[in-house]
Structure 1
Amino acid sequence: MKKAKLFTMAAALVTSLVVFMGCPQPTSGGGGGGGGGETYVGDAVAAYNEANYYVYLESTTGVQDNDSELYAFDGTCALADATSTGSGIPEGSVALKVTNTGSAAGWSAGGWTTATSADMSAYNALVFYVLAKPTEFNGQLKVKIGGTSESPEIAVQFTADGTWKKVQVHLDQFTGIDKTAITKPFIFVSEDTDFNDIFYLDNIYYTHIDGFTYTPPTIPSPTTVPPTPSESASNVISILSQGTYTDVTGTNWGTDWDAAECETISVNTATNIKKITLTGWGLGVEGWTTFDITGKTTLHIDYWTANGTALSIKVVDFGNDGSYDGGDDKEITVPLTTVTQNNWTGVDLDFSGLETKGHIAQILVLPNGGAANQIYYFGNMYFK
């Protein structure tokens, strides 16, 4: 089933930038540290060698890859050469200047794409340099990589003090992707709400750093079963239950167009728990023949989370033609007012505002602006 694109990649190729993709074999780069943290940030040192895989490099060192392009996503930012940043330039004489154009609500994004995939599996670090000034940057910078799918966004912790910072992100943090076939070697997302705010990037490359490790955080999971619903089966259309109801048949938790991970797990006697990791924009639930919820006004969910901070649910009706994008599709998104952690929590979401209810085709689980990699466990989901 086709999904509408969240971003349109408007080609904003900066013609004077030189983009290089280096040799495929890694070597040990300088500097270690950073084990266990999200990123390692140190003083900017202009150090590179020919064996690294370069995403953005001005020097003629390395092998040029002419199929690389630099994009601004959907006009959210302007990209330009910068020969002066107020604090020198780590490599060469030109850095990349990123200016928030204000065309999106509180974010901008861009990055490099390649027509030919690259194998990054032998490297353990993505290294880049970033500079921002306190008067020109008030947001959060995040990075991700990808191929046919994209990794979660990784938050970059650095001080916007007008000096260059060297950032090392361990590749183990980029989950849910095939690192042997990377075609999006660097994507940045800036959550900055101020129009015309600026940051700079330079000297972006992959390498192997001896002693650079990453220990994923331990995230608790539920040890008790979800509550047993008390609603009469005759009043319920169930998408998910633990045997209390007969669920809608043909349901697929996860699609080929969403950006999330979902698996079915058991918790004690409950054998149909859905563990949902929101690695990107959200999870799609579909697969059934469209069904009718006329007369139903509420979607009930029993959920459990240890790190979730925000969540919303979208319900999509395909209209009388029963097909996607047929001109009469209707949808509504309802956020959770609050998210409770470390307990099974039941919520009733009001979907009475959905204009048509005769051909329900999709339910989307969305992070609603929350942190990347929120994990939710769903025990029950039903309309009533």
Structure 2
Amino acid sequence: MAAKTKKAIVDVKKQFEKIAEQFQTFQILNEEGEVVNEAAMPDLTDDQLKELMRRMVYTRILDQRSISLNRQGRLGFYAPTAGQEASQIASHFALEKEDFVLPGYRDVPQLIWHGLPLYQAFLFSRGHFHGNQFPEDMNALSPQIIIGAQYVQTAGVALGIKKRGEKSVAITYTGDGGASQGDFYEGINFAGAFKAPAIFIVQNNRFAISTPVEKQSAARTIAQKAVAAGIPGIQVDGMDALAVYAAVREARERAVNGEGPTLIETLTFRYGPHTMAGDDPTRYRAKEEENEWEKKDPLVRFRKFLEAKGIWNEEEENKAIEQAKEDIKEAIKKADEYPKQKVTDLMNNMYETMPYNLQEQYEIYTEKESK
């Protein structure tokens, strides 16, 4: 007797295809800076569009100068940001001053535009404690070094915002590698369960240090991971400033209206190494891939759009560049002149009452530093 053909309980192929259909990449500007989604155009004035471009240009110059300063030994830890300006700056541009920013270590630009003085950003890179002493009216935490840990923190901050009845949100950032961490799932699940006003951004720059995103997860998109947490998810062209702005602005509106968190995956690319601490991207990235992503440069795309509208030109861009250079020059000078951090500063900042086993060391360093 021939064996019966057993029908599969789950049509896996159909299931995956149905999921993929729901997570098509959201885009407003194509690579030529042309509007391809008029209905989704955000309501921004010409002045606001120019300011967004100015901030992106400024941030690109800041990245270039920071790399140079790092190579000169004048900065410490630094994670390059070129290529991610639309993802970082346009997302922040969609926020309000009262919103709470919880960045990863590559997200110092968002802190600067949220109110962190530039010289303090340089001190943070050097490991100086004053780099983490934020202005009182600045709602943010220090850049998280532990991969993905900021997602759990954001869920907590967002729940606090909800309990206080405040009309603001907590926003956080990680990379594609962060989306493979347990903290990522715990954070979005907790926030979803309590409908906390949070925005979770995954900047998918293709490589978690050196591991291609395709080897990190079997999921076709990171955005679809939102489904398991019962929250909205969207994949956005992360090289398109207008698309990023529109997605984050809508997520913010839902959050402050009590509709809970959103997971946003921005498809982007870092042009430089993972960090300046010895990473060599040529060992794991093909030149052809880099060339392809350079054609999608967020500054070039947005510049074409603004020039077509007649509101941006070479003079405007040069003004932004010169302002950035001048600010950086003044900030690094101020950082250089700031009192050096001492070992006793570190100990005093760590302990209110010095443990007995460190008291002897403290006295030794106090004597050394007084000479």
- Structure 1 and Structure 2 fold alike (TM over 0.5): no
Q: Give the number of the structure with larger relative contact order, counting CA–CA contacts within 8 Å between residues 6 or more apart.
A: 2
- Greater share of residues in helix: 2
The structure that is strand-richer by fraction is 1
Q: TM-score range by the shorter chain?
A: under 0.3
* TM-score after normalising by structure 1: 0.22
TM-score by length of 2: 0.22
